[in-house]
A = this chain, B = another copy of it.
Amino acid sequence: MKTFDPTDFIPGVSLDCVIFGFDGSRLNVLLLRLRGFDEWALPGGFIKTDEHGDDAALRVLKERTGVSDLFLQQFKTFTHPDRTKVHVQELLRKGIIDENAREYFTSRFISLGYYALTNHNIVKPAPDYLSEECAWHPLDAVPELLYDHRAILEEALEEVRLDLQYHPVGQNLLPKKFTMPELQALYEAILDKELDRRNFSRRVMSYGIVEKLDEHRTGMAHKAPRLYKFKKSAYEKALKDGLSNRW
């Protein structure tokens, strides 16, 4: 077990990662349960003295979940003066924090929030040395969370929904060739609402990022549905410049 040396990190700044995993029908969020706690927490960590916050977020995510190369997006920094006070006292009482890190942890912390949207299947949840469990939880059944992590999760979700308004989504989350109902299921999972089938298809096609293929998904009970794929260069351009419904 590696020991935690507080002098490796800048004081008073943490980061928390909200990892959304799409499983084909709904969104899940990756959570850890700390030793001795009933509540769960977002995967998080600290920034090394010479490290960029974005690199710290990738390192933490890799350490705590085994996942690398996720596109992590910083979305907000959480700065309520009392955001960790109560639970840190509990961590200390339960002896989860080493004595040498006591002062480091009892100072006030602000936390940088990052989110990512990924395919449920590529993540192999693995608990870190502070935690007993690491697992996906569907968004409609999130357990009690430590600190202000419920608020961080909700703001991340709002960001993902906003992002959907002006950027494409789906690459790495859907099969290479997908049906329109599969793409719609992704949008519905993110927005948590049903969309009209015809309007959905019309709007998505109007973006110019999806190509209709002359192929159908076979081996299904009903009529074989049409397959689509993303147009690589148009998709990349829209990721960068935004969708074509922008001003």
Q: Which residues of B contact A11 (CB under 8 A)?
A: 11-12
9 contacts between A and B (CB under 8 A): A51-B81, A74-B76, A79-B112, A162-B242, A165-B242, A165-B247, A166-B166, A187-B247, A203-B247
Q: Which of A34-60 contact B (CB under 8 A)?
A: 47, 49-54, 56
Q: Which residues of B contact A81 (CB under 8 A)?
A: 49-52
Contact with B along A55-79 (1 / 0, CB 8 A): 0100000000000000000101101
In the complex, A80 Cα to B165 Cα: how many Å?
A: 29
CB distance from A10 to the nearest CB of B (A): 6
Whether A247 and B12, one on each chain, are in contact in the complex, defined by CB atoms closer than 8 angstroms, is: no
Whether B74 and A77, one on each chain, are in contact in the complex, defined by CB atoms closer than 8 angstroms, is: yes
Does A135 reach chain B (CB closer than 8 Å)?
no
Q: Which residues of B contact A74 (CB under 8 A)?
A: 76-77
Q: Which of B51, B79, B166, B247 contacts A54 (CB 8 A)?
A: B79
Does A222 reach chain B (CB closer than 8 Å)?
no
Q: Which residues of B contact A54 (CB under 8 A)?
A: 79
Also in contact, A110 and B53, with CB within 8 A (given A12-B12, A47-B79, A166-B166): yes
CB distance from A9 to the nearest CB of B (A): 11
Also in contact, A77 and B80, with CB within 8 A (given A165-B165, A247-B187): no
Does A108 reach chain B (CB closer than 8 Å)?
yes
Q: Which residues of B contact A191 (CB under 8 A)?
A: 247
In the complex, A143 Cα to B81 Cα: how many Å?
A: 36
Please name the 4 residue pairs, one residue from A and one from B, whose CB atoms are nearest each other, closest first: A53-B79, A77-B77, A50-B81, A165-B166
Does A145 reach chain B (CB closer than 8 Å)?
no
In the complex, A165 Cα to B163 Cα: how many Å?
A: 11
Whether A195 and B52, one on each chain, are in contact in the complex, defined by CB atoms closer than 8 angstroms, is: no
In the complex, A223 Cα to B194 Cα: how many Å?
A: 48
In the complex, A203 Cα to B165 Cα: how many Å?
A: 16
Whether A247 and B49, one on each chain, are in contact in the complex, defined by CB atoms closer than 8 angstroms, is: no
Does A205 reach chain B (CB closer than 8 Å)?
no
In the complex, A190 Cα to B53 Cα: how many Å?
A: 29
Contact with B along A161-190 (1 / 0, CB 8 A): 010111000000000000000000001000
